[in-house]
Amino acid sequence: APVLHGRALGEDDDVAGAGAPVAVLSYALWQEHFLGDPGVLGTDVRLNGTPFTVVGIARDDFRGLELSFQPDAWVTMQAAARLGQGSIARPDIWDDRGGRWMGMLVGRRADGATTEAVRDQFARISQDMQAEYGDLRGPRNTTVDPLDSYALPNGSEENVSRLVWLLLGVVGFTLLLACANLANLLLARGSIRAKDLSVRAALGARRRDLIRQLLVENVLVAAMGGVLGMAVALAILRASGPLSLPGGLTIAELNPQLDASVLGFTALATVATALLFGLLPALHATRTDLHSVLRDGGRGASGRGHRMRKGLVAVQVALCLLLLIGSGLFIATIRNGMAHDPGFRTGGLALARFNLGLLNYEPQEAQTLLNTLTARVAARPGVSAASYATRVPLLPGGASGFFFEVPGYQPRQDEELRVDLVGVGPDYFETLSVPVLAGATPGPAGGPEDPPQVAISRTMAETYWDGASPLGRTVVVGGEEVTVIGVVGDVSWQGLDDEPTNFLYVPLSSMQDRAAGFVTLTVRTTGDPSEALGVLRAELVSLEPDAPITVLSTMEGQVGQVLSAQQTGAAFLTGFGALALLLSALGIGGVVAYVVQQRRRDIGIRMALGADSRSVLAQSTLDMAVPILGGTVVGIGASLLLTRTIEGFLFGVTANDGVTYVSITLVFLAVAACAAALPARRATRVNPVEVLTGD
């Protein structure tokens, strides 16, 4: 059992009438609220107002079965009925054989058993039970899958997979770029050592021995780079912990570790790349004959070697542009997302979500507390408006869908009329700055005989009344008539690129028991909304010390959560893009510096014959123009093809956005020109007399 102190929950704990309920606390809760004190074992803690005896503390590495949901405590199924609402709280739930509240059973496979065998066995058990007890409430669908398939939030698996493959691609391209850079440096180093290697070959050294020596040297250098890379990776791992994946899961929650498998893979990749990309330079360095080397004085470079260096520069340029353009598209997405109008003003909003029903509040009690809490918060300095609702834009949860009818509207044969219902408090639209387009907003509920007055979204108003005003019209929702008194603007509810849908806003006081469910208090501030979070908590706790607060955040923080995948992609792409730009600049500068050094004698002769420094600088710099421009063309073409794979992450910008491509290309060409010009300037400082008399 994954328990650090005490014991795990046992079968004897999960028996009706077993006595005081018991709980196992998570390691995080134990550290945060009990400061890691083992003395908490055997004491009582209150969960939703109910005392539970602590019998165990979970290990730090056990955080539940779902990565995106990490429990603070574990209790038995029998005890869970005392904690709150829903099917499990019904007193007859254990006697209802037709109940469907159990969502998941977890079991461990026997040694040697396959998932398919367990699936077949479970299907037979299910058939036997249906034959014995009958199918009380229609067909039942059951699936048996490995537990790790449920680790990610429902619906986020595809996006997480796409993001992971994107990051793997980015790492792969960066590795190729670094290897091309390394190969270029090794080519230059091999040319410099050509005289030494040729002399050794003339004295009887076998070529394969020379190649082996060069490869061993490459591996030693790569090993030092690998060690340094592991240190940098550890720092990046720690710094990237707060970054989020789709579904709200942070990288830190994945608990990535530099374990033996990672270290082994890194060592293997280091040696493999050193051998693979060092082989060609080693072959090239050992093929030069002694006669040609002595004739050139060890200074010259073969035309074949120079062409190879230019080709590697072109590869670096293409890969660098690909990474930079991808980074630019993600940055444009973040910029567009933060500037996007979601239908309300996100700045200056603070949110607190809680559920009084978990403390067994009656609906009227909860409504009274909500009104008192809102009035108190609204009176605090720095608060300009406050309200509450069952659902708030960009905050997950609170959805309540209903079928509805519009008198006089004939739906199409395949059309399904559904509307999301939101219970709101006074000043809800003013607090969020949602525009009221027509009529008024719903106030407090009237008498029991009065039909509820509601506001509807713009999309709903424009869809079902054929251009006429919906004000004063009735809508039948869940079999109950409501009167439309206002039309408000559409807002983004789940994501910034949501298509507008039907929404209906009704006074929360008219929604029977919804006040005793999940409710979000929303506050508009005149200053930094994060400073109001403490005020929200303090006021709520002063009215209900055991209030279970599930969300305490700013709306800008929620926008960041919506853009979490894009922010993660932008962070990694920007980092790798900057690294790629640095490597490309070093590669271009290194090749130019090498060429200048090898041509010092030629440059000295030209300057002795009257060539000015400008023409020498131009020739040395323009020598790199062809590989740089060729790599630029290839990089842009590759970007047009490969950036289509990230279109699902983009917002407000297309994968072939011209502004991004042009701006990134111009910036890169400017950096490349500087990288080539700086070492080329050394050619203008050559003293012809020293060069011509030096050899």
**In three state form, how does the secondary structure of 92-114 look?**
CHHHCCCCCCCCCCCCCCCCCCC
Long-range contacts of 137-143, Cβ-Cβ distance < 8 Å, separation of 24 or more: 137/98, 137/100, 140/100, 143/119
Task: Tell me what pLDDT residue 204 has.
Answer: 76
Residue 634 pLDDT greater than 90, yes or no: yes
β-strand pairing of 453-457 with 480-488:
parallel
With CA atoms as reference, report the closest residue to 520 among 384, 365, 386, 381. Answer: 386
Task: Tell me what pLDDT residue 445 has.
Answer: 60
Task: Tell me what pLDDT residue 413 has.
Answer: 79
Q: Which residue has the higher pLDDT, 107 or 195?
A: 107
Q: Is 51 helix (H, G, I), strand (E, B) or coil?
A: strand
CA pair distance 576, 324, nearest whole angstrom: 8
CA distances from 418 to 44, 406, 455, 493, 628 (A): 46, 11, 16, 16, 57
CA pair distance 294, 579, nearest whole angstrom: 39
Q: Is 293 within 8 Å of 198 (Cβ atoms)? A: yes
Neighbouring C-alpha atoms within 13 Å toward the C-beta of 15: 7
Q: Please give the mean pLDDT across all residues of the chain.
A: 82
Task: Tell me what pLDDT residue 371 has.
Answer: 92
Range in 194-203, 300-309, 471-480, 602-611 with the lowest mean pLDDT:
300-309
CA pair distance 139, 136, nearest whole angstrom: 9
DSSP character for 91?
A: T
Q: pLDDT class for 412, splitting at 50, 70, 90?
A: confident
Task: Tell me what pLDDT residue 398 has.
Answer: 64
Could you read off the pLDDT of 419-451 as tens digits, one per residue?
998 999 999 999 999 999 999 988 776 555 667
Task: Tell me what pLDDT residue 53 has.
Answer: 92
Task: Tell me what pLDDT residue 103 has.
Answer: 66
Residue 554 pLDDT greater than 80, yes or no: yes
CA pair distance 480, 396, nearest whole angstrom: 27
Residue 181 pLDDT greater than 90, yes or no: no
Q: pLDDT class for 486, splitting at 50, 70, 90?
A: very high
Residues in the chain: 695
Task: Tell me what pLDDT residue 62 has.
Answer: 84
Q: Which residue has the higher pLDDT, 340 or 554?
A: 554
With CA atoms as reference, report the closest residue to 350 among 180, 45, 558. Answer: 558
Among all chains, which residue has been given the structure tokens 């959560």? 561
CA pair distance 577, 579, nearest whole angstrom: 5
Q: Is 26 within 8 Å of 72 (Cβ atoms)? A: yes
446 strand-pairing partners = none
Residue 177 pLDDT greater than 60, yes or no: yes
Neighbours of 693 (CB within 10 A): 9
Could you read off the pLDDT of 240-251 as tens digits, one per residue?
877 777 666 677
Residue 657 pLDDT greater than 60, yes or no: yes
The first and second tokens of residue 144, run together, are: 């048996």
74 strand-pairing partners = 24
Residue 540 pLDDT greater than 90, yes or no: yes
Residue 501 pLDDT greater than 60, yes or no: yes
Task: Tell me what pLDDT residue 498 has.
Answer: 74
Q: Is 464 within 8 Å of 447 (Cβ atoms)? A: no
DSSP character for 504?
A: E
Find the distance separating the first CA and the last CA of the chain, reported in whole Å. 78
Residue 534 pLDDT greater than 80, yes or no: yes
Q: Is 515 within 8 Å of 342 (Cβ atoms)? A: no
CA pair distance 689, 559, nearest whole angstrom: 67
The residue ranges of DSSP E strands in 320-445, in sequence order, are 349-355, 383-389, 401-405, 418-424, 436-439
6 strand-pairing partners = 56
Task: Tell me what pLDDT residue 433 has.
Answer: 93
Task: Tell me what pLDDT residue 561 has.
Answer: 78
Q: Which residue has the higher pLDDT, 692 or 635?
A: 635
Could you read off the pLDDT of 357-406 as tens digits, one per residue?
878 788 888 899 999 999 999 999 999 999 999 989 988 776 677 888 88
Pick the most confident of 285-299, 347-361, 521-535: 521-535
The residue ranges of DSSP E strands in 314-371, in sequence order, are 349-355
Task: Tell me what pLDDT residue 533 has.
Answer: 92
Using CA atoms of 156, 162, 168, 170 in order, give the dihedral in degrees to the nearest 10.
-120
Residue 255 pLDDT greater than 70, yes or no: yes
Range in 7-16, 439-448, 634-643, 657-666 with the lowest mean pLDDT:
439-448
Task: Tell me what pLDDT residue 95 has.
Answer: 66
CA distances from 510 to 86, 198, 308, 313 (A): 21, 93, 77, 70
CA pair distance 197, 191, nearest whole angstrom: 10
Task: Tell me what pLDDT residue 514 has.
Answer: 74
Residue 497 pLDDT greater than 90, yes or no: no
The first and second tokens of residue 615, run together, are: 């023409």
Task: Tell me what pLDDT residue 84 has.
Answer: 61
Amino acid at 267: A
Task: Tell me what pLDDT residue 352 has.
Answer: 93
Q: Is 617 within 8 Å of 596 (Cβ atoms)? A: no
Task: Tell me what pLDDT residue 334 has.
Answer: 82
CA pair distance 345, 414, nearest whole angstrom: 36
With CA atoms as reference, report the closest residue to 188 among 588, 563, 553. Answer: 588
CA pair distance 695, 682, nearest whole angstrom: 19
Task: Tell me what pLDDT residue 302 has.
Answer: 53
Q: Which residue has the higher pLDDT, 200 or 120?
A: 120
Task: Tell me what pLDDT residue 565 has.
Answer: 74
Task: Tell me what pLDDT residue 15 has.
Answer: 76
Amino acid at 42: G
Q: Which residues contact 278 (CB under 8 A, 6 or more apart)?
A: 182, 183, 186, 214, 215, 218, 219, 222
Average pLDDT over residues 294-305: 54
The first and second tokens of residue 263, run together, are: 């270290």
Give, in degrees to the nearest 5, the angle at Cα 642 between 624 and 154. 145
| Residue 383 backbone phi and psi in degrees, to 5 | -110, 125
The first and second tokens of residue 242, run together, are: 């707060």
Average pLDDT over residues 578-596: 84
69 strand-pairing partners = 66
Q: Which residue has the higher pLDDT, 545 or 286?
A: 545
Residue 14 pLDDT greater than 70, yes or no: yes
Give, in degrees to the nearest 5, the angle at Cα 192 between 187 and 195. 120
Residue 86 pLDDT greater than 70, yes or no: no
Q: Is 331 within 8 Å of 202 (Cβ atoms)? A: no
Among all chains, which residue has been given the structure tokens 């063309």? 633
Residue 265 pLDDT greater than 70, yes or no: yes
| Residue 683 backbone phi and psi in degrees, to 5 | -65, -30
Q: Which residues contact 27 (CB under 8 A, 6 or more apart)?
A: 4, 57, 58, 59, 60, 62
544 strand-pairing partners = none
Q: Which residue has the higher pLDDT, 351 or 480?
A: 351
Task: Tell me what pLDDT residue 403 has.
Answer: 86
Could you read off the pLDDT of 147-158 as tens digits, one per residue?
777 666 655 667
Q: Is 622 helix (H, G, I), strand (E, B) or coil?
A: helix
Question: If you compute the radius of gyration of the chain from its CA atoms, what whole number of angstroms results?
Answer: 34
β-strand pairing of 418-424 with 503-507:
parallel
Q: Is 312 within 8 Å of 622 (Cβ atoms)? A: no
Could you read off the pLDDT of 23-47 as tens digits, one per residue?
999 998 999 889 899 999 999 988 8
The first and second tokens of residue 226, run together, are: 């690998």
Task: Tell me what pLDDT residue 504 has.
Answer: 92
Task: Tell me what pLDDT residue 180 has.
Answer: 86
Task: Tell me what pLDDT residue 652 has.
Answer: 82
Range in 281-290, 473-482, 659-668, 681-690 with the lowest mean pLDDT:
681-690
Q: Which residue has the higher pLDDT, 686 or 682?
A: 682
